[in-house]
Structure 1
Amino acid sequence: MSDQLTMQRTAMRIGPQGDFGVVVEGFDPTSTDDVREVKRAVYRERIALVKGVELEPRQLLALAGAFGTPVPYYEPIYHHPDLPEVFVSSNIDSGPQRIGVPKTGKFWHSDYQFMPRPFDLTFIQPKVVPTRDRGTYFIDLARAHDELDPALRRAVAGTTATHSVRRYFKIRPDDVYRPIHEVLDEIDARTPPVTLPTIHAHPHTGREVVYISEGFTTTITEPDGTERPDLLRELFAATGQLDDTFEHPAIRLQTFEAGDLLIWDNRSLIHRALHTTTPEPAVSHRVTVFDDAGIPA
């Protein structure tokens, strides 16, 4: 068995992907050593594009479970019918018992940023890939912190940021014909706004992160309680989140094809989906995990 694992480690190759993330080839999802090495690479380089790994939903869930604890998304409409831990994004109309939700994530955000504990790692397996307009935009908030203008970094020090799902909550089938105030009251009761330091240390790497997103961050507040919408807008602009051309130097487009698997550090990266403008079908499966173990030794 040890000789076999040595062969697997030798077969797996991890190399740079330009100036952002790594490409992994020859990955064996059943190998503890491969999992450990890829996990280290994800925390070091933010994202891994794993090539040639076509996983069924149960296999994807099992792999994510080797990295941490998979958690079902809190809204059931996103759940895979057999595996609630698998989040389904799909624009395919499957009738009354629709599976998945179309056009998810078309705004800058971090998964579960509006919850008391955001997810640590995100796994995406594209299942049906359109021929064009496919990919996900990313911004590295640790790198963004390091590149902030020093005056802006000093102005933000000591402030807190409040995050809420209110702005991009997707109306559910059962919400049709309900008064909007009832829906909003339910959102606030189930997912009340959460507040975190605007700049804080990554829980595993220790790097400082400017933890804001255009999708979920609603306010920045001074220690004395003064709200600073000007600072929030400055941070959005500085980190590239107001650039609708996606040409800001902080923005990276991660493309993918059938058989690829994306794994990323959800506490460092915010992302925004690039959805096809054509009627082509698109389906992906996602699993998100809490990681209590951290970076392997």
Structure 2
Amino acid sequence: MKIGNRTGVRRGVEVHDFDPATATVDDLATLRRHIYHDKIVVFKEQTLDVRGFVAFGSEFGKPVAYYEPMYRHPDSDFVFVSSNIDRASSRVGVPKTGAFWHSDYQFMPEPFAVTCFYPQQLPTVGRGTYFIDMAKAYQRLAPDLRAAIENTHSLHSSRRYVKIRPSDVFRPLGEVIAEVERKTPPQRWPTVLVHPVTGERVLYVCEAFTYAIQDAAGGALPDSLLTDLLAASGQLDQSFEHDNIFVQSYEPGDLVLWDNRTLIHRALHNPGNEATESFRVTVLDEHPLTSKEAA
């Protein structure tokens, strides 16, 4: 196994000659440290089947099946599939997922610790992922914004971006919305997490799921505060040229792991709608979402 800094990009390391079957305990411990401290780890030239991919993800935490079955691979509930490929038998996965700023499962009681992303079919151009490091975003906040969110909590919900399922056709919209609220009730997290491994303070808001901020007593704070945080972090920049934004592109055989506590991401979909498919395994680690300092 060879680990090196990536050239021409702002974050992460590359891993060459990694074989999951022969990786040692020390190898895996080293890789976990890189995930938490370097945020992105790109494994090159991987050739794993579905079972092998799940086993790979299991080395970094406990895999969790996505709560909506229509996203799952037919051979494993633990593999989330984003795909626009039409198959003769039936559709596998859901097309054009994640085209909004978010952290995986931020709207659920146990947000994921690490995301494992494995492209299966890539278009010729325009397939990648935008990222923002929210620890760096917090560091760059103006002093008045930092002060305004001290000891506050934010509310998160999936309600804005839940995809309509085939079974929802002809159902009243209000009934669908009520079901969403029952299945994924809003979650309340500190607006600033303290990373349980690195100790970094992480701004924990996103454009897709965060909808309100409350003070220490649970009182509502102005909507403009959330807007200011999203703008300062780069999430409202539709040109994607904000200094906080960086892009991860993919080559065949790439398998990418990232720290889901610290990084938010947004899919970059190919404009020509070429065939594309990716697999994802998301895991929980042994650490809490945030250290007790931020509770």
TM-score range, shorter chain: over 0.9
SS at structure 2 position matched to 1:86: strand
SS at structure 2 position matched to 1:167: coil
2:253 is aligned to: 259
Are residue 55 (structure 1) and residue 45 (structure 2) matched? no
User: Equivalents in 2 of 1:36, 1:24: separation in Å?
Assistant: 14
User: Equivalents in 2 of 1:203, 1:86: separation in Å?
Assistant: 26
Contact residue 222 and residue 228 of structure 1 kept, 8 A: no
Are residue 12 (structure 1) and residue 5 (structure 2) matched? no
User: What letter matches 1:89 in structure 2?
Assistant: S
1:226 is aligned to: 220
2:293 is aligned to: none
User: What letter matches 1:237 in structure 2?
Assistant: A
Aligned to 1:28, which of 19, 22, 36?
A: 19
Are residue 178 (structure 1) and residue 177 (structure 2) matched? no
Task: Name whichever structure is richer in helix by fraction.
Answer: 1
Are residue 114 (structure 1) and residue 104 (structure 2) matched? no
Q: Please report the TM-score for the alignment, with normalisation by the length of structure 1.
A: 0.93
Matching of residues 60-139 of structure 1 within 5 Å: 60-95=53-88, 97-139=90-132
Contact residue 35 and residue 66 of structure 1 kept, 8 A: yes
User: Equivalents in 1 of 2:239, 2:60: separation in Å?
Assistant: 35
Instruction: Give the deviation of 1:293 after TM superposition.
Output: 6.0
Are residue 248 (structure 1) and residue 239 (structure 2) matched? no
Aligned to 1:169, which of 135, 157, 162?
A: 162
SS at structure 1 position matched to 2:19: coil
Instruction: Give the deviation of 1:71 after TM superposition.
Output: 0.5
Aligned to 1:155, which of 148, 153, 160?
A: 148
User: Equivalents in 1 of 2:192, 2:257: separation in Å?
Assistant: 24
Instruction: Give the deviation of 1:95 after TM superposition.
Output: 4.8
- Root-mean-square deviation over aligned CA pairs: 1.3
User: Equivalents in 1 of 2:194, 2:180: separation in Å?
Assistant: 29
Instruction: Give the deviation of 1:137 after TM superposition.
Output: 0.2
Structure 2 unaligned segments of length 5 or more: list them. Answer: 289-295
Q: Percent of counterpart pairs with the same letter?
A: 50
1:235 is aligned to: 229
User: What letter matches 1:76 in structure 2?
Assistant: P
User: Equivalents in 1 of 2:83, 2:46: separation in Å?
Assistant: 20
Contact residue 54 and residue 260 of structure 1 kept, 8 A: no
User: Equivalents in 1 of 2:29, 2:98: separation in Å?
Assistant: 29
User: Equivalents in 2 of 1:16, 1:201: separation in Å?
Assistant: 27
User: Equivalents in 1 of 2:129, 2:97: separation in Å?
Assistant: 11
SS at structure 2 position matched to 1:231: helix
Instruction: Give the deviation of 1:226 after TM superposition.
Output: 2.4
User: Equivalents in 1 of 2:19, 2:28: separation in Å?
Assistant: 8
Instruction: Give the deviation of 1:104 after TM superposition.
Output: 0.3
Q: Please report the TM-score for the alignment, with normalisation by the length of structure 2.
A: 0.93
1:5 is aligned to: none
Structure 1 unaligned segments of length 5 or more: list them. Answer: 1-10
Instruction: Give the deviation of 1:207 after TM superposition.
Output: 1.2
User: What letter matches 2:248 in structure 1?
Assistant: Q
Are residue 211 (structure 1) and residue 204 (structure 2) matched? yes
User: Equivalents in 2 of 1:275, 1:19: separation in Å?
Assistant: 21
SS at structure 2 position matched to 1:166: coil
Could you give the per-residue CA deviations for residues 163-187 of structure 1, whole angstroms, max 9, x where no partner exists? 0000000000100110011111111
User: Equivalents in 2 of 1:64, 1:74: separation in Å?
Assistant: 18
User: Equivalents in 2 of 1:42, 1:187: separation in Å?
Assistant: 32
Instruction: Give the deviation of 1:123 after TM superposition.
Output: 0.3
Could you give the per-residue CA deviations for residues 88-115 of structure 1, whole angstroms, max 9, x where no partner exists? 0000112562100000000000000001
Contact residue 163 and residue 217 of structure 1 kept, 8 A: yes
1:145 is aligned to: 138
User: Equivalents in 1 of 2:273, 2:76: separation in Å?
Assistant: 27
User: What letter matches 1:108 in structure 2?
Assistant: W
Could you give the per-residue CA deviations for residues 55-79 of structure 1, whole angstroms, max 9, x where no partner exists? 1111110011111100000000000
2:291 is aligned to: none
Which stretches of structure 1, 4 residues or more, deviate above 6 A after TM superposition? none
